[in-house]
Amino acid sequence: MSGLIGKKIGMTSIFDESGKNIPCTVIECGPCVVTQVRTTQVDGYEALQLGFDDKKEKNVTKALSGHFKKAGTTPKAKVVEFKNYEGEYKLGDVIAADLFAEGEFVDVSGTSKGKGFQGVVKRHGFGGVGQATHGQHNRARKPGSIGACSYPAKVFKGMRMAGRMGGETVKVKNLRVLKVEADKNLLVVKGCVPGAKNSYLIIEK
């Protein structure tokens, strides 16, 4: 699937033709450099490896430095492979935000914000305070029963409990592209995308 690597700039809102206020996310989308071309003869599958966002030469290993020099580009901070890429590209080609067009739909994936250790109310949306009468006094945000006693005498795998929340790969599908500013490599998509500001995103057609 054709796509690019981007960086989340932040959220804003714009007005459409009917005057409706639409929340949207601004993404710095590319330019991405083709750092490797996978072929069926050599690798067993076809894919394009793209690099995005410059990285200091001193922070790159010699092996990676040679890899980027082969493509005729500077070291990149983020490298992602895209399978079944549409179009013919060769090593060193630059793909920019004009790959996308206004009105089409994209899938955006990124790493969600880490929330640390959270309880069941925030992590799983449990109800919290239930029956406040009948002597209930200190179990407002607790999970309640997590299993039976003597049988099956265990807590089943997958039981929704408190724990670390966030920091996972999340994909949001079918976001409409509201605006493409090719000269600034900016993409404006409807709604929100996962991750904090300046976090990397993968935008797929």
Residues 110, 183 share a domain: yes
Residues 112, 90 share a domain: yes
Residues 37, 60 share a domain: yes
Residues 155, 97 share a domain: no
The whole-number pLDDT of residue 131 equals: 67
The SS3 of residue 165 is: strand
Residues 35, 108 share a domain: yes
Residues 109, 23 share a domain: yes
Residues 89, 126 share a domain: no
The whole-number pLDDT of residue 145 equals: 87
The whole-number pLDDT of residue 155 equals: 94
Mean pLDDT, range 69-84, rounded to an integer: 91
Residues 76, 22 share a domain: yes
Question: What distance in Å separates the CA atoms of residue 111 and residue 193, rounded to the nearest whole number?
Answer: 10
Question: What distance in Å separates the CA atoms of residue 50 and residue 32, rounded to the nearest whole number?
Answer: 6
Residues 13, 103 share a domain: yes
- Look-up: residue for tokens 């607790």? 142
Write out the residue range of the structural domain in which residue 124 sits.
Answer: 118-130+144-165
The whole-number pLDDT of residue 85 equals: 86
Residues near 73 by Cβ (< 8 Å), separated by ≥ 6?
33, 35, 51, 92
Specify if 137 maps to a domain.
no
**pLDDT tier, 90 (very low <50, low <70, confident <90, very high otherwise):** confident
Specify if 64 maps to a domain.
yes
Q: How crowded is residue 31: how many other Cβ atoms within 10 Å of its Cβ?
A: 15
CATH of residue 25: 2.40.30.10
Q: How crowded is residue 43: how many other Cβ atoms within 10 Å of its Cβ?
A: 11
What percentage of the chain has pLDDT greater than the value 70? Answer: 98
Tell me how many domains the chain contains.
Answer: 2
Specify if 136 maps to a domain.
no
Residues 161, 63 share a domain: no
Question: What distance in Å separates the CA atoms of residue 173 and residue 123, rounded to the nearest whole number?
Answer: 22
Residues 100, 160 share a domain: no
